[in-house]
Amino acid sequence: MATFNEKKTCSQRMENFGRFVWNPDTGELMGRALDKWVYISLYYLAFYIVMIGLFALSIYSLMQTLSPYEPDYQDQIQSPGVTIRPNTYGEGGIEIFYNISDENSYKGIVKSLNTFLAVYNKSKQEEMNKPCSNYSDVKSLLTGSGRTKYACQFTTDMLGKCSCHHDPTFGFASGEPCLFIKINRIINFMPDNKTAPTLHCSSKDEDDLRHVEYFPHGSFGLQYFPYYGKKAQPNYTNPLVAVKLFNVQRNKEIEIVCKVNGSHIINENPHDPYEGKVTFKLKIEK
Ligand SMILES: *[C@@H]1O[C@H](CO)[C@@H](O)[C@H](O)[C@H]1NC(C)=O
Ligand SMILES: *[C@@H]1O[C@H](CO)[C@@H](O)[C@H](O)[C@H]1NC(C)=O
Ligand SMILES: *[C@@H]1O[C@H](CO)[C@@H](O)[C@H](O)[C@H]1NC(C)=O
Ligand SMILES: *[C@@H]1O[C@H](CO)[C@@H](O)[C@H](O)[C@H]1NC(C)=O
Ligand SMILES: *[C@@H]1O[C@H](CO)[C@@H](O)[C@H](O)[C@H]1NC(C)=O
Ligand SMILES: *[C@@H]1O[C@H](CO)[C@@H](O)[C@H](O)[C@H]1NC(C)=O
């Protein structure tokens, strides 16, 4: 009896619902006449078109007030961060660990360095940027059309003993590895107009790292500053300082700090370990 009642209610419900969806007597779809549905659809269509139009207009007028050449809001931090290649991360930050006797332990590092340095290929740089080294008036050399600027070339042959022509493994095979340091771009950042920022690397214990050479000359040339931004200076490439480490204590984890020194560069910020300096661990096994 109960099942029969239930069945009846169910089929009645289905019928009612069917009638709601399409009522052949009144010609109503979901409780409304067809022409009403057309009006409602048109109303919402117009409503959304107006909404989208207002939204687009406000975005457009906002974009009009922004200069594509430089950011409107730059935060107060005006001192650049420092990064290093290779940048293999371990548990304790950047860890460059390898074994001279095991080529596989540094093959990946050498490959990543080649990829990183590809943009500094001489012929590529000659296509993209201007040779600045022999010009006293770099500013006018870099003046492009409109608000665009050219940038100065930085080529791998400036890297001396750390260029791949000198050593295709960048010193890793011989246990005197080269590391490449760059400082982050900050639009319109100018370190000083007389002295270029210099780089200095040292280990906690002097005996662990007895000799370091820097290329080119251990400084970030002033001709690469300021950086005018991606739109004004699309081909800009960061200058590098290559660091070649000699007489590194073997089979020992060594902490090395590379600090950039120059006016307007902060390198003692306890809250930001990468501001003005980079710290990493090196272990060369054999
Ligand atoms: C630059 O790249 C070209 C190929 O794109 C290569 O033939 C040439 O050897 C590279 N030059 C340097 C200096 O690496
Ligand atoms: C950027 O480099 C390309 C070649 O890669 C060159 O055609 C173009 O003129 C350069 N633009 C500027 C603004 O230096
Ligand atoms: C710059 O000048 C030096 C000599 O003053 C010369 O040896 C060198 O080839 C020049 N470099 C360029 C890129 O013109
Ligand atoms: C260096 O910059 C200061 C202001 O930023 C300026 O007064 C001075 O003339 C500049 N010196 C040189 C040599 O360009
Ligand atoms: C860093 O530069 C300041 C002056 O700008 C100088 O007094 C100081 O000796 C330099 N430190 C190093 C390690 O070169
Ligand atoms: C370095 O690699 C060689 C050859 O694979 C191995 O004999 C040596 O024990 C390794 N050194 C260390 C400290 O693991």
Residue pointed to by tokens 């003692």: 268
Q: Could you tell me if the CB of 257 is within 6 A of ligand 5?
A: no
For a substitution probing ligand 1, which of 123, 126, 153, 155 has the most ligand atoms within 8 Å of its CB? 123
Reported confidence tier of residue 72, pLDDT bands at 50, 70, 90: low
- Greater confidence (19 vs 58) lies with 58
The answer to whether 165 and 156 have CB atoms below 8 angstroms apart is yes
Reported confidence tier of residue 32, pLDDT bands at 50, 70, 90: confident
pLDDT in the model for residue 58 = 93
Say yes or no to pLDDT of 1 above 70.
no
The dihedral over CA atoms of 156, 158, 159, 161, expressed in degrees to the nearest 10, equals 110
pLDDT in the model for residue 212 = 96
**CA 127 to ligand 2 center in whole angstroms:** 7
C-beta contacts of 227-231 below 8 A and 24+ residues apart: 227/185, 227/186, 227/187, 227/188, 227/189, 228/69, 228/70, 228/149, 228/187, 228/188, 229/69, 229/70, 229/71, 229/187, 231/68, 231/69, 231/148
Which helix (DSSP H) or strand (DSSP E) does residue 241 occupy? strand 241-248
**CA 129 to ligand 2 center in whole angstroms:** 7
Chain segment 44-65, per-residue pLDDT in tens: 999 999 999 999 999 999 888 8
- The mean per-residue pLDDT over the stretch 239-257 comes to 96
Exposure of 246 by Cβ count < 10 A (0-12 exposed, 13-18 middle, 19+ buried)?
middle
